[in-house]
Amino acid sequence: MSKISKVPIEVSARHIHLTKKDFEKLFGKENPISPIKKLSQEGEFAAEEKVSLIGKDKRIDDVRVLGPFRKKSQVEIALTDAYHLKLNPLPKIKVSGDLANTTKILVHGPKGMIKAPCIIAQRHLHCSEEEAKKLKIKNNQIIKVKISGKRGLIFDEVVVRTNSKFRASVHLDTDEGNAAGISGKTFGEIVK
Amino acid sequence: MSKISKVPIEVSARHIHLTKKDFEKLFGKENPISPIKKLSQEGEFAAEEKVSLIGKDKRIDDVRVLGPFRKKSQVEIALTDAYHLKLNPLPKIKVSGDLANTTKILVHGPKGMIKAPCIIAQRHLHCSEEEAKKLKIKNNQIIKVKISGKRGLIFDEVVVRTNSKFRASVHLDTDEGNAAGISGKTFGEIVK
């Protein structure tokens, strides 16, 4: 454990990415998507619109739609949510966009419903190629990130995802954020 | 990171420990507690009885009562549950039995209700003094435990709790278990 570099940590609550077509099925053709908050990655935003995820005999309401529209719809939840909804088989732990062989889940909107693939997001570090160079890491590399505090831990299996539009930030889901006792703005350390 | 020792990992779902008096308030004096499953630590059991935890505008049902009765009632939940119930202030991260200055929560049973202190359990390793000796660790020592797999990580801040009745086992809550991708019987490694 030698060189250490600080990176911001963000915890993502359960959310859904939608195609334009699926958005229209859920919210109607007459209503455009309504951005209400910019997210840390350029161009990404939280929308006013929310959906419900429907499980066997339980549901989770108020699940935020994120924009802009994507080429494929995708639900991202925490394992706690998956157990609550009694999804069987459980969604796979995957990087965003890799939707092969994962569970589909029923999604309700005010105007209709869809079935969408559902994943547990693999924890990852977004950064630009330039930042990656400074941090001495590469796209697709698996790194360790240390969180300090009363629930301090070292996350292994953090995959690096570089893109010229990205800004350095580790993305965790709520199970991971809560396991590490993270609330609000936090920094982690890349541990080698 | 030199010497490594394997230890079983157990994930505890949200639960409640009760005094006899509080049990009677919730379930009535005529009904004795009904053990249905032995737990790994000697004498401990899951009971048939379940309670509901009541938050601001949400509730969590089917929360298991554990026995035997204790000197103080105590609710143990995950941070995910605490956010869901909108507990404010959040319960403290504490070792079991340390109930000073933590949030109280409303608990409903079929025959009545109580207010009980609520904690987020600090992750810990139970073991006997003899096992501790073999593992070269001591009561109250803070150790690191490594979990392997797709969500591999190293938990820091694991407190050692020795007692002649204990059997070696790391106890995590569901946020921690899910963050580490643990399902079913798993082993971790004490990392020094």
Give me the pLDDT at residue A3, please: 53
| pLDDT at site B70 | 97
Q: pLDDT tens for residues A121-147?
A: 999 999 999 999 999 999 999 999 999
For residue A2, pLDDT over 80 is answered with: no
Nearest to A157 among B79, B123, B151 (CB): B151
Share of chain A above pLDDT 70, in %: 98
pLDDT given at position A44? 94
pLDDT bracket for residue B40 (50, 70, 90): confident
Q: Show the 3-state SS of B141-177.
A: CEEEEEECCCCCEEEEEEEEEECCCCCCEEEEEHHHH
pLDDT reported for residue A41: 87
User: Which of B73, B99, B95, B177 shows the shortest CA–CA distance to B139?
Assistant: B95
Q: Is B123 on the interface with A (CB under 8 A)?
A: yes
- B174 — contact with chain A (CB < 8 Å)? yes
The answer, for A106 touching chain B at a CB cutoff of 8 Å, is no
B83 contacts in A (CB within 8 Å)? 174, 178
Which residues, including other chains, have CB under 8 Å from residue B182's CB and lie 6 or more apart?
Answer: B9, B11, B147, B172
Helix (H) or strand (E) run with residue A178 in it: helix A174-179
Residue B45 pLDDT more than 60? Answer: yes
Please report the pLDDT score of residue A95 as a whole number.
92
pLDDT at B182 over 50: yes
Q: How far does A29 lie from chain B, in Å, by closest CA?
A: 33
Q: What angle do CA A68, A74, A79 make, to 5 degrees?
A: 125
- What's the CA gap between B144 and A154, in Å, rounded? 10
Percent of chain B past pLDDT 90, that is, above it, reads: 91
What's the pLDDT tens digit per position in A46-55? 999 999 999 9
List, as one string, the DSSP characters of B1-31.
Answer: ---EEEEEEEEEPSEEE--HHHHHHHH-TT-
- Binned at pLDDT 50, 70 and 90, residue A4 comes out as low
Query: How high is the pLDDT of residue B4?
Result: 60
pLDDT at B3: 53
Write down the pTM of the prediction.
0.95
Q: How far apart are the first and last CA of chain B?
A: 5
Residue B175's closest CA among B82, B74, B44?
B82
Residue written as tokens 């994943």? A119
Residue A1 banded pLDDT, cuts 50, 70, 90: very low
pLDDT at residue B169 greater than cutoff 70: yes
Q: Which of A78, A79, A153 has the CB atom closest to B154's CB atom?
A: A153
Residues A41-80: pLDDT tens digits?
889 999 999 999 999 899 999 999 999 999 999 999 999 9
| H or E segment and range at residue B55 | none
Residue of A nearest to B151 (CA): A157
Q: Is B16 left (phi over 0), alpha (psi -120 to 50) or beta?
A: beta
pLDDT at B41: 87
